[in-house]
Structure 1
Amino acid sequence: MGSRLGELIEEYGVLGAQVAMLNCGNVSSEAAGVLSGRTQVEVTDDSLFKVESITKVWTATLVQHLVDDGLLDLDAQVGDHPPAFPGDQGVKVPDFGNGAIGWGLGWMRYRVGVGHTGVSKGQKAFLRVDVEQKRAVAVLTNSVHSELLAHDVISEFHEQGSTPVPPDKPEPIDAQRMCGTYRDQLYDFGQLPGHTVTTTLPRL
């Protein structure tokens, strides 16, 4: 991105940000701004940011890789695999990929590829992955109002890649299998048959 990240944090009022890009095995990164308005410590490639919910989808993906390789049983309990986790009684391997430990709806589809967004107090992280082109971009910020900055970075990243071409005869998908209720600690997310919107109801 060159000096573009520095321009974007000023434009959108974000204190600091990191960007990492994966392109066919090659990783590039950039940092700009400061970690804190009080300390004025500059952001570097080694600065630590929270990625929050991104760790959940990342963990679930790695677990599925182990299942695909025959190294892990989805019906097993976490305690069956040493070293055991404290307080893991009754926690099963699939819980790493559902709302039981907070995964929520998991990987989300975007205009190009899939991704997820993580939010914590004062920070927000964005991950987008184009699996077919073997490209990915992560944007880490110390502002919860950094969506526009992330949008610009991610859009520019995708523009650098080749334009995806839809297949002549796309395979049909069964959207009905996604219908149902997804739960986390606070909400029920209901995907209804025949509807393209998701209703959210607070759990009482």
Structure 2
Amino acid sequence: MSPTGEPLTGERILEATEEVLRRHGPAKATVVDVARALGVSHGSVYRHFRTKAALREAVTKRWLDRTAEALAEIAAGDRDPEARLRAWLRGLFDAKRRKAGDDPELFATYTVLTGESGEAVAAHIAELTAQLARIVREGVAAGVFAATDPETAARAVFHATGRFHDPCHAPEWARPEAAADFAAVVELVVRGLRA
């Protein structure tokens, strides 16, 4: 229980961790800082997350899941598969650009954390490519796309568009030509998938 009387939950700890990371950065943020922000002992935090690494992995997963959840709605939508693919790729690019532009300190922090969080990042990429595979599979079933293996095609689409979602390319996203480059790559990808 925290001093405010609210139960200490994993979600509250993750929210506080995100704020501590924003203020201190990943190199200086500690579990003690998180506990202090919540008004509890660090042992209380450790009861929810056994290690600092587990806490960092969980906060990274939470951050990545926000993007995956928004994209899942697009992937499951009722538009035709080509429109969904375009919207999904646009949604991913826009989400990453917003994260990088709206809160650059936290984006930089998460770039460091995703480098440490192998399981969270691998699960995130698997989720995103599964969403793409669903769109491709439904496109094949509708006769819109030609792909013998939708999972392989989805991975290829994901990698082909990496410049527009991989955080290592974030400095390029604000350049004036980024939108035109994105549109050209999406057009090429869609044309390559068409039946």
TM-score relative to the length of structure 2: 0.28
TM-score for the superposition, normalised by structure 1: 0.27
User: Larger % of helix: which?
Assistant: 2
